Amino acid sequence: GYTGGELLRLLLFHPEVEIKQLTSNSYYGKLVSKAHPNLRKVTSLKFFSEEELEKVDTLFLCTPHGESMKKIEIYMGIADRIIDLSGDFRLNDQIEFEKWYHQSHTKPELLQKFIYGIPELHRDKMKDAQFISSAGCNATTTILGLYPLFKNNLVELDKTVVEVKVG
């Protein structure tokens, strides 16, 4: 998806990152550039199947909603550090998760283990965390946009409305 492609684009140019493997069910065996044309001539990496994943230091999950939690124990056996870009571990309370996502969490015992955050604001907590859940695009935009206003007491929580339109 878009998130995985953007993450890959950034990591490919990072001097301290080595991309070991990528997975995709629908693009298995194909060049990454088939799914992400902007990476043509940038990488010759191909997609693997999840069953072929090998042990890595850090595993980024860019799965559709509901998929990370279904396979999290498998992923935990593959990587010492997991950074989940889906919404599956963003809330640390099962009741809140069900309220907002309208489904049960398959691994509620793991919700408390994930650190939720945005690197610009939560770098210290995230730096040494084993499990990280990244804020989504709408939340990130909203939080980073409003942060300086709240930090300087220029707005009131109960009088702040954010309306997001996507599409």
Crossing angle of helices 137-151 and 119-127, rounded to 10°: 100
Strand partners, 61: 84
Type of residue at 19: I
Determine contact, residues 44/12, Cβ cutoff 8 Å. Answer: no
User: Active site residue: 11, 137, 139, 146, which one?
Assistant: 137
Burial of 18 (0-12, 13-18, 19+ CB in 10 A): exposed
Does the active-site annotation cover 137? yes
Residue 47: name the closest of 82, 84, 21 by CA: 21
Active-site residues, by number, are 137
